[in-house]
Amino acid sequence: MTVIDANRMHEIETRYPEYFHRSFRQRFGGLMILIATLLYSLYAVWFFDLPKLFAEAHWERIGIYLSQWVSYDVQPEFRIGDDGSIDIRYPRFSPLGDNPHPDWLVNNPDGSITVSISGTSGSVTVSKSETIVTAHGVSVPVEVSSGAPKVVGPVPGWMTVYDDNVLADLGFAGNVSISVDRVKIRKRFIGWANFIFDTQSSFFDKPVGEVVGLIVSGPRIKPDQSNLSLAFDDIWNNSEWQHGDVWTKLFQTIVMAFLGTLLGSLTAFPLAFLAARNITPNRLLNQVLKRFFDFLRSVDMLIWALFLTRAFGPGPLAGSGAIFLTETGTLGKLYSEGLENIDNKPREGIKSTGAQTVLVHRYGIMPQIVPVFVSQTLYQWESNVRGATIIGAVGAGGIGLKLWEAMRTNANWENVAYMVILILIVVFIFDAASNALRHRLMGTKAH
């Protein structure tokens, strides 16, 4: 073992003071950051009252909304007449069409009607005197012949009795509402009803093979229009899913993002040369333009959209204008900072030959900044495709407005899911295209 004497130790301390005489910040900086983070987290919990927020949140609604994204329901209503007859009615614009005869509804010989709710494990049998609900392995009769419905026997946990109504909750499969003179059933199905053809289409409820045969070689359904053209019209003008309107609004969103980004980049490009200190040696002009860029980008795109919809009315013009103003500020700042960080040697070399200012910029600056500028612009364009969806919700047009209208009804969640999926697909495509172009321009390899 080597022993270090006092002189040697003093020499080492003198040579490496940063290891032996560390400041308070160096010794306890990490611990102080950890303590500050913990204190801020506790403050955030208190400020937002997170325990109460989580305790009172309606977590069950998450499952309800998600199930409505991927399913639809049919709501037959059975009205019991005074003579014991049972009349079946469906809501207007039922997914089953105007004259439905579903195979899950069976007319029994004794005059009762049995509805299968969830395969073979759940059903509802409606007769003039009682309704029998079978679910979770038990059958519960509900008498409907007296002044109010009455459950015979013990009431299970999935059934709720009110003064004039009995509600049976069958989970995802649906529910049953029983009163004296009517029984209303909500039966849920996985999938999107009538996504291709609505109930008014000539091709509605036909097998796929028959539809293909009609389109390829079948006789004309309408003498003045081919079956292929008719099928396209029926799909495009589907009254339930509104494919034509949705795709038109989606295209509007893409055009809004492209036009706003393009105009913003074209405006920011020359202004950036005037804002860059090393290009335009006028400090007042530099500062005025940079503060102008700060102003444009400090006002959120959503706020600009609100202003412009008041000025020009709802529509894609307001959306494009909001993106244009925001991108002028954002790209102006990025462009000017990029110009201030260029290598001045090529520029000075060309200037020394006596070339004009335009040629100096063309050959001394442009080769350095074009790949960076295009990369930044592509990234902003990709981001604005998402932003255009958000500002559409405040009236700036595009699919965002369509999405907000569907959400406000609180009933068309399958349409919401359809539009969200379309938006995700467009964002993924533009993200991949933008990344590929950026890597190609920057000369790097995409991963």
Q: According to the model, what pLDDT value does residue 68 have?
A: 84
For CA atoms 248, 249, 253, 256, the dihedral sign is positive
> Contact 116/104 with Cβ under 8 angstroms?
yes
Q: What DSSP character marks residue 171? A: G
> Contact 234/197 with Cβ under 8 angstroms?
yes
- Give the neighbor-by-neighbor strand order of the sheet with 150-151: 105-107, 113-116, 123-126, 130-135, 138-143, 150-151
Contacts of 171 (CB under 8 A, 6+ apart): 158
Regions of the chain where pLDDT drops below 70: 1-10, 12-13, 15-24, 119-121, 441-447
- What is this structure's pTM? 0.78
Q: According to the model, what pLDDT value does residue 232 have?
A: 93
> Contact 233/227 with Cβ under 8 angstroms?
no
Q: According to the model, what pLDDT value does residue 176 have?
A: 92
Q: According to the model, what pLDDT value does residue 388 have?
A: 87
Q: According to the model, what pLDDT value does residue 430 have?
A: 83
CATH topology of domain 243-442: MetI-like fold (1.10.3720)
Q: According to the model, what pLDDT value does residue 18 have?
A: 62
Domain regions of the chain by residue span: 73-190, 243-442
pLDDT tens digits, one per residue of 106-164: 999 888 899 998 765 688 999 888 899 998 888 999 998 777 888 888 889 899 998 88
Q: Which two tokens stand for residue 210?
A: 């028959």
Amino acid residing at 417: A
d(CA 156, CA 135): 10
> Contact 174/187 with Cβ under 8 angstroms?
yes
d(CA 157, CA 95): 31
Contacts of 63 (CB under 8 A, 6+ apart): none
Q: According to the model, what pLDDT value does residue 3 have?
A: 61
Contacts of 254 (CB under 8 A, 6+ apart): 385, 388, 426
Q: According to the model, what pLDDT value does residue 444 have?
A: 61
